[in-house]
């Protein structure tokens, strides 16, 4: 895989941003946070406690997919990518995409969201995230990693399970 893209997916509060940035730093790869690709209307809707629907998510997913297609070097990008059809859209044009599923139960994630400040995603929307979540199946060849533990431990699990080589 000369130019891989790692897509870190999971519900809000699973640690995508923290783990993604740390992983990209350890690997020396480009990093992007898919939340940055949300149109302002989506951010306002989530801030108001209104779950996004598929129509809301489409422009965001398309912008994320464009960013991934434009990469000419290995990269890490984070996105909830909750449904299979979202991941299929993100995978278009990127056969080198590697899916990393950050897995955690509702109690663990809920506790993290309750402690998080300054993020536009309120903890009240967590139920909608778990309702929409379609965990990746074996045919998607995901690397499934528990987020139970400190971020540096989760990053090391990803590196080990995906067979990645950190930047020295």
- Is residue 55 predicted with pLDDT exceeding 70? yes
Assign 122 a pLDDT band (cuts: 50, 70, 90).
Answer: low
Count other Cβ atoms within 10 Å, centred on residue 158: 23
Q: By CB neighbour count within 10 A (0-12 exposed, 13-18 middle, 19+ buried), where does 24 fall?
A: buried
Q: In what order do the strands lie in the sheet with 75-78?
A: 30-33, 75-78, 5-9, 97-103, 143-146
Assign 79 a pLDDT band (cuts: 50, 70, 90).
Answer: very high
pLDDT tens, position by position, 2-15: 579 999 999 988 99
Mean pLDDT of 116-130: 65
Assign 115 a pLDDT band (cuts: 50, 70, 90).
Answer: low
Rounded Cα gap, residues 24 and 11, in angstroms: 20
128: Cβ contacts below 8 Å, ≥ 6 apart? 51
Rounded Cα gap, residues 11 and 125, in angstroms: 10
Task: Determine contact, residues 91/100, Cβ cutoff 8 Å.
Answer: no
pLDDT tens, position by position, 141-153: 999 999 999 999 9
Rounded Cα gap, residues 11 and 91, in angstroms: 19
Angle at 155 between CA 151 and CA 157, to 5 degrees: 115
Rounded Cα gap, residues 41 and 68, in angstroms: 22
* Strand pairing report for 143-146 and 5-9: unpaired
């Amino acid at each position: 895989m000369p130019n891989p893209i790692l897509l870190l997916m999971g519900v809000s509060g699973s640690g995508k941003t923290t783990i993604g940035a740390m992983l990209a730093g350890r690997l020396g790869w480009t990093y992007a946070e898919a939340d940055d690709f949300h149109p302002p209307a989506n951010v306002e809707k989530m801030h108001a406690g209104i779950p996004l629907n598929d129509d809301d998510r489409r422009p965001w997913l398309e912008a994320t997919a464009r960013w991934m297609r434009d990469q000419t070097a290995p990269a890490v990008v984070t996105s909830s990518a909750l449904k299979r059809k979202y991941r299929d859209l993100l995978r278009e044009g990127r056969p080198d995409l590697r899916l990393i599923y950050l897995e955690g139960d509702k109690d663990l994630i809920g506790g993290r969201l309750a402690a998080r400040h300054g993020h536009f995603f309120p903890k009240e929307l967590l139920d909608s995230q778990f309702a929409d979540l379609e965990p990746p199946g074996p045919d998607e060849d995901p690397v499934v990693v528990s987020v139970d533990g400190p971020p540096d431990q989760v990053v090391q699990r990803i590196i080990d399970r995906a067979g990645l080589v950190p930047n020295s």
